Amino acid sequence: MTIHSEQFELKARLELALTASEKASELILKYYQSPELKVDRKSDDSPVTIADRGAEELLREEITMAFPDDSIMGEELPPVEGSNAFKWILDPIDGTKPFTQGVPLFGTLLGLEENGKLVMGVCRFPALDEVVYAIKGDGAWWKIRDQEPRRARVSEKSQLSDAVFCTTTMTRWETIGKQKAYENLCRNSYLARGWGDCYGHMLVATGRAEVMVDPVLSPWDAAALLPILEEAGGHWIDFDGKPSIYTGNGMAVNDALKDEVLQIIAQN
């Protein structure tokens, strides 16, 4: 396969991901801020709704119709084994808790692996009408409502005292024995906020924050994020500094602050 055909394969899947995530947004918004929305609990006590399940079913149907040989892994439904090198990793609503609370900072995530390496990511925010996306080698892009897409770039801030630090759930830092690291980042950052889940990571990708850390996460929480952050000039890494979505933790960080943040987490 030539480089040209590889890019063609990726761009075809990116177009599908953008279209399918837009359709999923329409489904999700039918339930957003609805007094009729019923919230169930999964075995790990995390919330799930008809919108989560319905959106993932829709995404899978769209992918299967367009690319029937691709594998699919998602948060809500069993995996589907394909017969080629591509594997989709889906999170229909990343931030179900904000979604059920009527807070607009939730997103639909579609990541794509090729031969085990993440090569594409789409993160769409239904309630905000924004999308951030990337394929390897083509940069990261940010589209707001009906505006033309613009390049997504991490900031160049190199001092933690000038940086915005975000995280999803404060209590998880204590769960993994990193409460001191959390306190250190809060004290030494210019601004510390709980703009969490995929929204926080996309703040880093678009230069509106510098550090976003998730002490606990699953592969579908992160698959779309890694290629976006890398194409935006930043990093998606785990607490050991590796670009992995399978080690149970991770962070988005700009290039200038990566080493300092990793040192804070390692020493506390």
Domains defined for the chain, CATH in brackets: 3-151 (3.30.540.10), 160-267 (3.40.190.80)
- Vertex 117 angle, CA 115 and 119, to 5°: 105
pLDDT tens-digit map of 98-153: 999 999 999 999 999 999 999 999 999 999 999 999 999 999 999 999 999 999 99
H-helix or E-strand containing 250? strand 250-253
Contacts of 199 (CB under 8 A, 6+ apart): 95, 105, 106, 107, 125
Q: What is the pLDDT of residue 4?
A: 62
Q: What percent of the chain has pLDDT over 90?
A: 93
* Nearest by Cα to 46 from 90, 122, 99, 89: 99
Does 129 show up as a binding residue in the annotation? no
Q: What is the pTM of this model?
A: 0.95
Q: What is the pLDDT of residue 42?
A: 86
Does 93 show up as a binding residue in the annotation? yes
Does 162 show up as a binding residue in the annotation? no
Does 221 show up as a binding residue in the annotation? yes
Contacts of 238 (CB under 8 A, 6+ apart): 244, 247, 248, 249, 250, 251
More confident site: 238 or 1: 238
pLDDT tens-digit map of 36-73: 999 998 888 789 999 999 999 999 999 999 999 999 99
Report residue 125 as tokens: 């925010």
Q: Which of 7-11, 156-160, 207-211 has the lowest mean pLDDT?
A: 7-11
Long-range Cβ contacts of 81-89 (<8 Å, 24+ apart): 85/114, 85/115, 86/9, 86/13, 86/112, 86/113, 86/114, 87/112, 87/113, 87/114, 88/63, 88/112, 88/113, 89/113, 89/219, 89/220, 89/223, 89/224, 89/245
- pLDDT beyond 90 at 204: yes
Does 176 show up as a binding residue in the annotation? no
Q: What is the pLDDT of residue 43?
A: 83
- Vertex 34 angle, CA 29 and 35, to 5°: 170
For residues 56 and 159, give the distance between their C-alpha atoms in angstroms, rounded to a whole number. 40
Q: Decide if 106 contacts 130 (C-beta within 8 A).
A: no
